[in-house]
Amino acid sequence: MSILVIAEHDNKALNGATLNVVAAAQKIGGDITVLVAGSGAQAVADQAAQVAG
């Protein structure tokens, strides 16, 4: 199963709710993809990559 998480962020850090969704997705299992959208959001994308493994 594949799970897509659309990240909520402020261009500086992931929102706590996004981290909760990723944790729930990990319990379900399967491939998890976190979509970080926005201009200048590279730092958040890097953070999401660390969280998602």
- The pLDDT assigned to 17 comes to 96
Give the domain range for residue 14: 2-52
- The pLDDT assigned to 3 comes to 96
pLDDT digits (tens, 9 = 90+) for 12-39: 999 999 999 999 999 999 999 999 999 9
Using a cut of 0.95, tell me whether the model's pTM lies above it.
no
Is residue 51 within 8 Å of residue 16, measured between CB atoms?
Answer: no
pLDDT at 53 over 60: no
> What's the total number of domains in the chain?
1
For CA atoms 21, 9, 4, 53, the dihedral sign is: negative
Q: Output b/e per residue, 25-42; b: 16+ Cβ within 10 A.
A: beeeeeebebebeeeebe
